[in-house]
Structure 1
Amino acid sequence: MRIGIVGAGALGGAFAALLARAGHDVEVTARGAGLEAIRRDGLRLSGGYGEAHVRVEASDRLSQRPDLALVCTKAQDARQAIADNRDALEGTTVVVVQNGLEGVRVARELLPGADCFGVLSIIAANYTEPGHVRITTTAASYLGRGAGPADDGSRRVAALLSEAVPVVAVDGFEGAQWTKLVVNMLNALPAITGLSVQEVIADRRLRRVLTASMRETVRVGVACGVRFGALQGLGDRRLRLFARLPLALDQVLPLVMGARMGRVPNLGSTLQSIRRGQRTEIDFLNGAVAQRADAAGVPAPVNRTLTGLVHRVEETGAHVPVDEVLGAVAG
């Protein structure tokens, strides 16, 4: 099968390498040093899914219509990337592999003739250098669309992708997006402080802030009428209980998440963007929580503060000392 990957960064590069290793004809889009490296040396994958070194077609836009396309850009780049590749994507099957809540909606808006799905990936991948992705944590990815049960199309695409990497078709995909948003609260504090996710979780003071941002996200979702989808052992009942328990007890959740990551430092996608000098997708993560809170008329001070601190790091290039982070959240 011919598969197009729009955005060959950490996750896009991982999916491209795994699908090529499974025997598919893969074309990727990339820019700058990444594009040069892939054209020159191919894509290299290491870590949790083993070693792979594959040759794929690479350019700044897809050269022809694939049978299946994965859009793996950062959330803030998705609209432009889909528009740039509209001729190749319209009329085919498009899977948006992305954080945040808007990816599938944007794809449907721009590609009315495409069959659009979303994927929520828990895989932790470091883009170690142009053309080289290292998997630090393996996990199943979750595919679906809409708020109802998984349909035949979702099961078909999930089975195809599972030839290369585990993908599960899930019910209530839109609710699962909110559950993934809770998980994505792991991203902001590493970007702000420069610490790995594991180091943030190990720090009792930062773990308290992280837990508060997660609880706030659940409470905003509840205020918006969300029924949280099942994802990695988390679901509606558990998350609603999490939002009601004392903060001290709730810290078990990030501790469990940290234990699953193992010892290889997980930088988080937002810190990786900071290190590459790129804009982050924070407005689609913690910023999305603050935006939805405004619409629902409920407070979200922790997520609003963390969003602002990430923007400060983007602008200055300097991480924020832990004591200053704690003061900003407390204030």
Structure 2
Amino acid sequence: MKIAVIGAGALGGTFATLLARAGHEVTVTARGPALAVIRAEGISLTGAFGGTRQYPLALERLVETPQLTLVCTKAQDAAAAIGDNARVLDGSPVIVVQNGLDGVRTASALLPCSDCFGALSIMAANYTAPGQVAITTAAPTYIGRGTGVADTVTRAWRDVLSSAVPTVALDNFVGAQWTKLVVNMLNALPAITGLSVQEVVDHTGLRRVMTESMRETVRVGMKRGVRFGSLQGLGDGPLRTFSRLPTGLGQVLPLRLRSRMGDVPNLGSTQQSLKRGQLTEIDYLNGAVVREATLAGVRVPVNELLTALVHEVEARGVPLSTYDVLERFAALRH
């Protein structure tokens, strides 16, 4: 099958390589140094899905309509990337592999004649250099759309992706996006402190802040009438129970997520962006919680401060000390 992958970062590189290994005819879009490297050397994938090097066709933008397209850019880059390729994409199916809540809506608005789906990736993929990706934690990809039961077309695209990477067709995809948003609260503090996700969760003070950001996210979702979807053993019932637990007991959630990562340092996607000198997608993660909270008429001070601190590190170019971070959060309680 002719499959296009828009974006050649950690996830885009992973999907392009695994789909090519499975025998699909893959085209990947890239820019700058990555485009030249992929054209000359292909994409090298190492880690949990096995080592392979594949040579997808690399272009700055698509020139012909594929049978399927995966959009794997950062959330803040999705509209521009889809718009750049809309001429050849509109009318063909698109799967948006992205964090946050807005990806499928963005694609549907820009591609009104296309069937648009979302995909949630739980794997931990590190973009180590242009054309090089390391998978530190393997996990299935979850595909779906809307709030209902996964339909026949969704299951058909699941089967296509499953030829390359374990894929699950998901009921209540919108609810699962909210569940993934809770999981994505793992990202901000590593980006702010320069520590790995494991180091943050292992630190008592930072783990408490992370737990509070997760609790705020769940409570905002509840205020917005969300029924959380099933993902990584989490779902509506467990998350509602988590939202009512004292913070001390609630820390079992980040500890549980950390236990699945193993010991290979997981930087998180937000910190990876900072290390590459790029803007992060924090406005679509913790920032999305802030926006949804405004619509719900509630405050989320922990997520507000986390969003601000990531932007501060973007501007400074260096992380903040753990002491400084905890001092800033201590001030919220006074």
Bucket of the pairwise TM-score, normalised by the shorter protein: over 0.9
Is structure 2 residue 213 aligned with structure 1 residue 189?
no
Q: Residue 226 of structure 2 aligns with which residue?
A: 226
Is structure 2 residue 217 aligned with structure 1 residue 217?
yes
Q: Shift of the alpha carbon at 1:30?
A: 0.7
CA-based RMSD of the aligned residues comes to 0.6
Q: Residue 236 of structure 2 aligns with which residue?
A: 236
1:259-310 CA-to-partner distances (Å, cap 9, x unmatched) read 1001111010000000000010000000010111111111100000000000
Partner SS, residue 85 of structure 1: helix
Tell me the distance in 1 between the aligned counterparts of 2:40 and 2:264: 28
Percent identity of paired positions between Structure 1 and Structure 2 = 62
Is structure 2 residue 124 aligned with structure 1 residue 121?
no
Is structure 2 residue 66 aligned with structure 1 residue 66?
yes
Q: Shift of the alpha carbon at 1:131?
A: 0.1
Unaligned runs of 5+ in 1: none
Counting only pairs closer than 5 Å after superposition, residues 311-322 of structure 1 correspond to structure 2 as 311-322=311-322
Partner SS, residue 146 of structure 1: coil
What is the letter of the counterpart of residue 307 of structure 2?
T
1:129-158 CA-to-partner distances (Å, cap 9, x unmatched) read 110000000001110000111111110101
The aligned length equals 331
Tell me the distance in 2 between the aligned counterparts of 1:328 and 1:99: 27
Q: Shift of the alpha carbon at 1:31?
A: 1.1
Q: Residue 287 of structure 2 aligns with which residue?
A: 287
Q: Residue 18 of structure 1 aligns with which residue?
A: 18
Q: Residue 90 of structure 1 aligns with which residue?
A: 90
Tell me the distance in 2 between the aligned counterparts of 1:137 and 1:291: 30
Which stretches of structure 1, 4 residues or longer, exceed 2 Å deviation after superposition? Answer: none
Q: Residue 140 of structure 1 aligns with which residue?
A: 140
Q: Shift of the alpha carbon at 1:330?
A: 2.2
Counting only pairs closer than 5 Å after superposition, residues 190-209 of structure 1 correspond to structure 2 as 190-209=190-209
Greater mean alpha carbon deviation, residues 232-241 or residues 85-94: 85-94
TM-score, length-scaled by structure 2: 0.98
Partner SS, residue 248 of structure 1: helix
Partner SS, residue 260 of structure 2: helix
What is the letter of the counterpart of residue 97 of structure 1?
V
Partner SS, residue 217 of structure 2: helix
What is the letter of the counterpart of residue 242 of structure 1?
F
Counting only pairs closer than 5 Å after superposition, residues 37-76 of structure 1 correspond to structure 2 as 37-76=37-76
Tell me the distance in 2 between the aligned counterparts of 1:296 and 1:257: 28
1:73-111 CA-to-partner distances (Å, cap 9, x unmatched) read 000000000000001211111000000000000000000
What is the letter of the counterpart of residue 282 of structure 1?
I
TM-score, length-scaled by structure 1: 0.99
Tell me the distance in 2 between the aligned counterparts of 1:294 and 1:93: 33
What is the letter of the counterpart of residue 257 of structure 2?
M
Q: Shift of the alpha carbon at 1:65?
A: 0.7
1:159-209 CA-to-partner distances (Å, cap 9, x unmatched) read 110010011001100000000000000000010000000110111110111
Tell me the distance in 2 between the aligned counterparts of 1:112 and 1:166: 29
